[in-house]
Amino acid sequence: MKDIIKIIKEIFSSRRVVLRIAKYNNDQAYRNNYLGDFWHFADPALQIGVMLFMFAMRMGDNYKNPHAHGIQGYVAWIALGMITYFFMQSSMTKSANSIKRQLNLLAKMNFALSAIPLTEIITELRRYFVMLGMVMFLILFTDVKPTIWWFQFIYYFIAMIIFLYALSLVTSTITVLVPDFYNAYVAILRVGMWLSGVIIPIDGPAFPIVISNILKINPLYYIIEGFRETLLENPQGFWEKPSDIIVFWGIVIILLIVGSHIHIRFRNRFIDFV
């Protein structure tokens, strides 16, 4: 617990620098392109368009998805799941390699190493919000109407950010200590979309109950399904599923404890491993 408190203090004291670095990363992303920030909109729009064409048009039958009604419902369902997963996948990939990639530069600065993974997560938020805005616009063309339950989105968003950072503390440290870990981690994330209920509902008829219950332990599924229930389906309060809350936050707390401990223990020796 002492390690977690120390990490939280470091993040709080570095918050302004984290935001500046994230802004700098976004500004540099398309600096040499004539259209500049336009690609922050064009690139996500192209991704969503291709995804919907490849999956929604072929898999939009009602009987395959008990959560979506008709092709419009399925388009919104799959688009919301995909942008959430792509944001988490990109954040997890970049944050895992963040300390190793920037250590030589940031080691010379008065900047907490524990805040480096967070800069990558925040950097990805601009793209995520652009894609989320597109999907929200798409949802308005379905039968779904905005309700007060949409404010529950805030809970799942905060849960997503905390989970991503807790995981990044573990993965960014292990990536420095064990170089082969990063390649294996990226390979797992490539198939994670199929195990997180993004394309096919894991509580549908395609999955046996035992396998479905195991896959539901995945924190990514908890977040993706939470967004879908909040914005698309008949919503229910997140507090109405206490077992899911216990499992998700239990995993997050374990990641925070382990990640904080190994990060603080080894960070003074990071430069030796790199």
Which of 153, 189, 199 has the alpha carbon at shortest distance from 168? 189
pLDDT over threshold 90, residue 252: yes
Report the C-alpha gap between 248 and 7 in whole angstroms. Answer: 21
Report the C-alpha gap between 11 and 17 in whole angstroms. Answer: 10
pLDDT over threshold 90, residue 92: yes
Triad 48, 20, 219: Cα angle to 5°: 45
Helix (H, G, I), strand (E, B) or coil at 87: helix
Between residues 121 and 211, the one the model is more confident about: 121
107 contact partners, CB below 8 Å, separation of at least 6: 113, 270, 271
**What are the tokens at 114?**
């524990």
**pLDDT-based confidence at 168, cuts 50/70/90?**
very high
Least confident of 138-152, 186-200, 220-234: 138-152
Percentage of the chain with pLDDT > 70?
A: 80
**What are the tokens at 58?**
């072929």
pTM, two decimals, is 0.88
Say if CB 112 and CB 10 are below 8 A apart: yes
**What are the tokens at 33?**
């392109």
Residue type, 35: L
Say if CB 220 and CB 160 are below 8 A apart: no
For the chain, which residues make up each domain, given as ranges?
Answer: 2-273
Q: What is the pLDDT at residue 167?
A: 96
Say if CB 62 and CB 70 are below 8 A apart: yes
Q: What is the pLDDT at residue 70?
A: 62
Work out the average pLDDT over 72-84: 83
Query: Where does the chain have alpha helices with state H?
Result: 2-13, 15-29, 38-51, 57-59, 70-96, 98-106, 116-123, 125-139, 153-177, 180-195, 209-215, 219-231, 242-266, 270-273
Helix (H, G, I), strand (E, B) or coil at 201: coil
In eight-state DSSP terms, residue 244 is H
**Range with the largest mean pLDDT of 77-81, 99-103, 251-255:** 251-255
**Range with the largest mean pLDDT of 64-68, 77-81, 265-269:** 77-81
**Range with the largest mean pLDDT of 96-105, 196-205, 211-220:** 211-220
Residue type, 130: V
Which of 124, 145, 127, 126 has the alpha carbon at shortest distance from 136? 145
CA distance from start to end of the chain = 28
Q: What are phi and psi of 43, to 5 degrees?
A: -65, -50
Which of 192, 177, 17, 1 has the alpha carbon at shortest distance from 91? 192
Report the C-alpha gap between 154 and 70 in whole angstroms. Answer: 28
